[in-house]
Homo-oligomer: A and B are copies of this chain.
Amino acid sequence: MAKYHSEEEALKNYDTSKYRTPEGYTSDIAIFTLLPNEQYKAKDEKSSKYCLALMLIKRAGLDAEGEPNIEGNKWALPGGFTQIEGDKGSAFESAKRELLEETSIKGVHIKHFGVYDTFGRDKRGWIISNAHYAIVPEQHIQDRRAADDAAEVQLFTIDEVFKLDIAFDHRQIIEDAISSVKKDMQQTTVAKNFLPVEFKLEELRQVLLAVIDDNVVNTKSAFFRKAPSLDFIEEAKDAQGNPKVTEPTGKNKRPSKLYKFEEVEPVPSIWN
C-alpha cells in the first residue's frame, strides 16, 4: 500500500534538502546614461557630443555596527536581494524595484543579460546574481544626484570605470553589460530609450555615435539618407497630419524635422 495517496501528500514530503541550495538570490543593475563628451570635436563628424556613462555606488567602509564591511570602500553595481513580493519572486521585478529606488523613475528600459552563479564569487556563500542593464535619459539621473548626498552614488564614463577598485566580480559584470548594450544598440531599437519620444535625426545619430561604431551612423550623409527610409522610424505628424518641426532653441538657428520610432522591432540578418 502506498504511503501517500495523492500528489499533494507526496509534495509535502518532497525532500529538497538533498541538494545544496543557494544562500542568496540577488539582482544587480548596470544603469547607463549619456553625459556630455569632454572630447567632442565639432569638426570630426564621427565624434559624438555624448559619452556613455554608468552609475555605481560606493560601498561603505564600515557597516551599521561599525565593523569592516565586506568589499568595503569599493565601487559596485546597485543591487539587492530578490524577495517574494505579492506572491511573485522574480529577479526581474527585483531589478525594477532597485532601479526605482536608485533613480526614482519607472517604466524605463530594463533588460536581463546574464547570470553569475559560480560558487566563490561572493565570500558570504553561494550567492547568485541576475545581471540587468537599464537605460535612463540623463536628466533623470542628474535629478537623483542633486536630491541625494551623492558622495556614494556617481556616474563614470566607461573609460573611467575600469580604473576603479570594483567589488566582487562586478568588473566582469560591467564588461558584459557594456558588450550587451552595444550589441543591442546595433541590433535593436533600444536607442529610443536614450531619447524623447519625438527626436531630431541628428540627436539619434549623436546617441548612436556615443555607443557604437557603425559605417552608416559614422557617415552623416549616409545616415540622413537612410534613416528616414527605415521601417521602424517615421516622421512625427501633428493633428493636421503635417510634419512636426522643432522650434529653434539655444544655439540652434533653424527648425528641424521630428521623427519617432514605430512599434515594430526589426530583426537584422547576417544573410542579407
Contacts and interface: CB of A to CB of B under 8 A. Distances in A.
Interface of A: 1-14, 16, 19-25, 57, 59-60, 63-70, 72, 80-84, 87-91, 101, 112, 114-115, 117-120, 123-126, 128, 130, 147-149, 152, 183, 186-189, 208, 214-217, 223, 226, 230, 232, 266-272
Contacts of A114: 112
B267 A7 contact: no
A161 B243 CA distance: 49
A13 B270 contact: no
Contact of A10 (B2, B65, B130, B147): B65
Contacts of A1: 101, 147-149
A68 to B, nearest CB: 5
Contacts of A117: 25, 82, 89-91, 130
Given A9-B64, A9-B69, 8 more contacts: A2-B149, A6-B68, A10-B65, A13-B63, A19-B82, A216-B269, A216-B271, A216-B272
A217 B269 CA distance: 11
Contact of A183 (B82, B216, B267): B267
B10 A63 contact: yes
Contacts of A271: 186, 208, 214, 216-217, 223, 226, 230
A89 to B, nearest CB: 4
A6 B63 contact: yes
B124 A16 contact: yes
Contacts of A230: 270-271
Contacts of A232: 270
A69 to B, nearest CB: 6
A120 B241 CA distance: 49
B118 A6 contact: no
Contact of A4 (B3, B20, B67, B89): B67
Given A70-B13, A124-B11, A267-B183, A119 B21 contact: no
11 contacts: A1-B149, A6-B64, A9-B63, A10-B68, A10-B70, A13-B69, A21-B25, A22-B25, A87-B119, A187-B269, A226-B271
Q: Pick the 3 closest A-B CB pairs, nearest first.
A: A268-B268, A10-B64, A89-B119
Contacts of A208: 271
Given A115-B115, A124-B14, A189-B270, A70 B5 contact: no
